Amino acid sequence: MPYRQISHEFWTDETVRSLTYIGKGIWACMLTQINTMPIGVMNLSINSFCEEINTLSDRVSHMVSDTLFDTLNPLFEKGSIRYSEEGRFFFFRNFLKHNPINSPKLVIAWKKYLAKVPECALKNEVIQTLDEYVSQSSESIKEAWKSLGIKVSDTVCDRVSDTLETRNKKLETRYLKKTVTKKSSENRERRELAKSILEFLNLKTGRNFKPLDSNLKFIEARLREGFTRADCHAIIANKYEDWHKDPKMFEYLRPATLFNATKFAQYAGELPAEKSE
């Protein structure tokens, strides 16, 4: 029965150590799972691999389906993992380091595995990597490889469909889109919260401040600093109690004063503990 193994050095590798725990688990799964052939090729598309991971854990499945390349980016940058959009398979360049070949019979078996790899630029890279590995092996291994008569194909296109530059551009574009979307969503939520706080100020004071940027920007700035709706309501209520009977001070019950960066922190410090919870 075929099996896969990884060296204990796997866990001390600098690139592997830079991965998250989930990233380490996914990488170990790739190297040892049944769809990974002895030549270091996992003949699965990204979507198919995600479906395989789905059977392990909902948390891991979600992580892989959304951010597989982000999670394993250090390995893609180093070249340890290569993926062909064209052939829809993964290639692990250092696979034979963990699963060395010591029998000519195993080399002969490479032919049937290579036959399963779709013709594409990355397949050429697979063949070249195997050839480099054999060149440093015993004479019997070299003879077995030579007898297969396998050469780099001249018919596949010269374009490597998934170069590091292309992959990094895809990662950067996807990251920027997610970041922009996340920030836009956070800004909308913060604006709505600021409006509700301004409405509370109007109800408490009987005034009519409009939900304009000139008013909301002060409240939003404090929300970005981590203050909550409860904090804002407590400060408004507290300063109302202090100032509403004094016509001069009543005028300061306004966003520009209450939510001023310096003064707001001071007002927050004046609150009794129960009011700031």
CA distances (Å), 34 to each of 37, 44, 129, 248, in order?
8, 11, 21, 78
DSSP E strand boundaries for the chain: 41-42, 81-84, 89-92
With beta carbons less than 8 A apart as the criterion, state whether 137 and 162 touch: no
pLDDT in tens, 100-137: 888 999 999 999 999 999 988 889 899 999 999 999 99
Model confidence over 194-246: pLDDT tens digits? 999 999 999 999 999 999 999 999 999 999 888 999 999 999 999 999 999 99
The tokens 């063949």 sit on which residue? 127
State the alpha helices, DSSP H only, in 55-100.
58-71, 73-78, 95-98
Q: Please, which residues bridge with residue 58 across strands?
A: none
Q: Who contacts 215 (Cβ-Cβ below 8 Å, separation ≥6)? A: 198, 209, 255, 256
- Domain extents in the chain: 8-162, 183-275
What span, in angstroms and rounded, lies between the C-alpha atoms of 133 and 155? 24
Q: Which residues contact 213 (CB under 8 A, 6 or more apart)?
A: none
pLDDT tens digits along 30-61: 888 888 999 999 988 887 887 777 665 555 54
- Is 178's pLDDT higher than 80? no
CA distance 26 to 62: 12
Backbone phi, then psi, for 33, in 5-degree steps?
-75, 165
Reading the block at residue 91, the tokens are 């290639």
pLDDT tens across 134-149, in order?
999 999 999 999 999 8
